[in-house]
Amino acid sequence: MRRVEPCAPVTQTFETFYERELTVQVRRAVLLVGSREAAEDLVHDAMIEVHRRWASLDHPAAFLDTVVVNRCRDHLRRRLVRVRAVARLRPPDPVDAVGDVLDDALARLPFNQRAAVVLRFYEQMTGPEIAQVLGCAEGSVGPWIDRALRTLREALR
């Protein structure tokens, strides 16, 4: 599932890069922010950022990874206040299926834990790769995943 950066990026056009990355990035963003529409907009804006810097980027896929994750983080921060307000007004949704429980529990995880889980279990990234995308120390990734799995296990009981 993990894609590989081309060996000779100078021969890669932005158009082929865009087509190769689009679906992967949007799917990842959907898992991070929970909304398909928001995910498409966030990835689109990140692609604009990549396109602007295209000539100076040695590793555009790595740059795009970071920009998309950072934009997802910012998006969730901005949404947080609104979501909290709605949560106070609305009774909890009845959940019975495992998938619903997992979605709900994933959405409640702190962003770094959620992102680490998505990158590990959906993207099958290694610890160092996750640390690079999230811009954190490698030693942080394992504990985040452990804590996230503990939370998810409790939610599934």
Given 122, 128, 143, 146, the residue binding other proteins (CB under 8 A): 122
Given 57, 62, 136, 152, the residue binding other proteins (CB under 8 A): 152
- Map residues 102-121 to x or -, x wherever contact with other proteins holds by CB under 8 A: xx-------------xx--x
Choose the stretch contacting other proteins; rule: CB under 8 A; options: 4-12, 24-32, 58-66, 127-135.
24-32
Q: How far is CA 87 from CA 84, 99, 108, 119, in A?
A: 5, 20, 12, 27
SS (HEC) of 31-81: HHHCCHHHHHHHHHHHHHHHHHHHHHCCCHHHHHHHHHHHHHHHHHHHHHH
**How many Cα atoms are found within 13 Å in the side-chain-facing hemisphere of 7?**
0
Choose the stretch contacting other proteins; rule: CB under 8 A; options: 2-10, 14-22, 88-96, 128-136.
14-22
- Map residues 65-94 to x or -, x wherever contact with other proteins holds by CB under 8 A: ---------x--xx--x-------------
B/e letters for 136-151, b = 16+ CB within 10 Å, e = fewer, are eeeeebeebbebbeeb
20 binds other proteins (CB under 8 A): no
Rounded Cα distance between 12 and 129, Å, is: 22
The site for other proteins (CB under 8 A) is made up of 14-15, 18-19, 22-23, 26-27, 30-31, 36, 39-41, 43-45, 47-48, 51-52, 74, 77-78, 81, 98-99, 102-103, 117-118, 121-122, 149, 152-153, 156
